[in-house]
Amino acid sequence: MDALRDLKASAVIGGPGTSPARPFIGLPSVGAFSSAPDLVRLAQALQNQKLLTRPYTDLYVGPKFPAAPPPGAPSPGPARREAFQAYGLNSTILGDFRVVGHGGGVGGGNANWNVYLGHDWVGVVLSNYDLESKLFMDILGKEREAIASAAG
């Protein structure tokens, strides 16, 4: 099977109101499969130098240049938020935390992975909401609130 068909009028691949085939296998944004526990293990391996030695980990996760927050990103609340682009990752300063991660989506799917460097906290959100879903953004905001509460 190459694709999944969604006949809902709210589908967004090809534009709002279209009824495209939803990609299943073969595109860079949706060609890989993972689970939340797999992504937590990846975060642990990254932080514990199981993937790269410390100098290369620091190079990989370090900020390279300033980046604007993504459209519709939840407000960080009273904490400051400074966003940067790293090598393939977002590298953010959120309050007193350094956070690296990556997210994205296609029609019918969104994912976000955040690693709170220097802490044992990892945020993984996997969903089948369309692009720029307010509900998906609200879930990311709740993740930040939970981390801020646990740290405070």
Q: Give the separation between CA 4 and CA 73, rounded to whole angstroms.
A: 28
Q: Which two tokens stand for residue 30?
A: 């949706």
For residue 139, give the DSSP letter. Answer: H
Comparing 70 with 86, the larger pLDDT belongs to 86
Choose from 22-26, 33-37, 73-77 the range with maximum mean pLDDT: 33-37
Comparing 44 with 129, the larger pLDDT belongs to 44
Predicted confidence (pLDDT) at residue 50 exceeds the cutoff of 80? yes
pLDDT band at 121 (very low <50, low <70, confident <90, very high): very high
pLDDT band at 1 (very low <50, low <70, confident <90, very high): very low
Residue-wise over 30-66: b if at least 16 C-beta within 10 A, else e? beeeeeeeebbebbeebbeeeeeeeeebeebbebeee
Measured in degrees and rounded to the nearest 5, phi and psi for residue 52 equal -140, 155
